[in-house]
Structure 1
Amino acid sequence: MTDDHVARIQAEWRSERPDVDTSPQGVIGRLHRIANHLTGELTLLYAKYGLSEGEFDVLAALRRAGAPYERAPGEIALHTMVTTGAVTKRVDRLEQAGLVQRRRSDADGRGRVVRLTPAGRRLFDQAFTAHMANEERLLAPLDRAQRAQLEQLLTTWLGDLEPPN
């Protein structure tokens, strides 16, 4: 086992509380630290394109929708796992930047739809390509078999924590 930050914390707890099994901390602590590192690396890349993590997420939800690259705000919230209020703030910023536009829904004249603009699509496609290269870089320490194993383990665990949609 490596002597990383989490291992040092566990060693201190073994000394102070030998009656408590701190082995879960080995997994949770490392996942937490890895998540913090990943978030920092991802947000640096988004910022190169003038986007926050949340704005990137909204643009991704619109781009994944396929032509004409639009969704209702409530649908965006479902695809980004944030509240509609948070979506509104993100869409406001993206609209000001000319990356999305709002329009009335064809299905419901009272409802609104958010659509990716051509400029938004161009910017997002560039950012997404760079994002995937960045994620590849971040996973470089793991070989393909390790990645597949880790993905399967995380999929199993997440499936227990989150109900399926």
Structure 2
Amino acid sequence: YRLSNLVRPSIEATFAGFGLDRGEFDIVSSLRRAGAPFRLTPTELYTSLMIASGSLSHRLARLERAGLVRRVPSDTDGRSLAVELTESGRAKVEAAFRADMASEATFLTHLSPEERE
């Protein structure tokens, strides 16, 4: 918990550089991890992220306005919509992830290989 509090500002600044907050990054990264076609139902998203459906709806609306996700007809239920990562969203989440990993790696530079392990 303490370590998370120490690195959180850096992580949030990295994501902000890509126009994302942490919650939005969680959504687009979940869609990216889902694999092609990078699509999940809202229920799958809020369950895996352990957030309220209302929180998800608000974040999805922002991501949709930014062109990072779109809602598409569900493959299994014609009455519902799934959330799909757009090409722009995929490029952004992959770039944000790479930048975050590079940033977080700098926290380990003062540790020996044994301490890193």
Number of residue equivalences: 117
Q: Once the 2 structures are TM-superposed, how far is the Cα of residue 77 of structure 1 from its aligned partner? A: 1.5
Measure the CA separation in 2 of the matches of 1:115 and 1:90. Answer: 14
Measure the CA separation in 1 of the matches of 2:113 and 2:34. Answer: 29
Please name the residue that 2:70 is paired with: 101
User: TM-score normalized by structure 2?
Assistant: 0.91
Per-residue deviation, residues 18-47 of structure 1 (Å, max 9, x unmatched): xxxxxxxxxxxxx43x32221111000000
Q: Bigger CA drift: 48-57 or 100-109?
A: 100-109
Measure the CA separation in 1 of the matches of 2:48 and 2:116. Answer: 25
> Structure 2: which amino acid aligns with 1:117?
T
Measure the CA separation in 2 of the matches of 1:141 and 1:112. Answer: 48
Give the number of the structure whose residues are more often helix, by fraction.
Answer: 1
CA RMSD, Structure 1 to Structure 2 (Å):
1.4
Please name the residue that 2:51 is paired with: 82
Measure the CA separation in 1 of the matches of 2:114 and 2:51. Answer: 33
**How is 1:13-32 mapped onto 2 (pairs within 5 angstroms)?**
31-32=1-2
Match for 1:115 among 75, 80, 84?
84
Please name the residue that 1:55 is paired with: 24
Decide which structure has the larger Cα Rg and report it. 1
- Greater relative contact order, per chain length (Cα 8 Å cut-off, separation 6+): 2
Match for 1:142 among 106, 111, 116?
111
**How is 1:30-69 mapped onto 2 (pairs within 5 angstroms)?**
31-32=1-2, 34-69=3-38
What are structure 2's unaligned runs of at least 5 residues?
none
User: TM-score normalized by structure 1?
Assistant: 0.66
> Structure 2: which amino acid aligns with 1:35?
S
Q: Once the 2 structures are TM-superposed, how far is the Cα of residue 147 of structure 1 from its aligned partner? A: 3.3
> Structure 1: which amino acid aligns with 2:30?
A
Q: Does 1:126 align with 2:91?
A: no
What are structure 1's unaligned runs of at least 5 residues?
1-30, 149-165
Per-residue deviation, residues 108-136 of structure 1 (Å, max 9, x unmatched): 11222000000111111111111111121
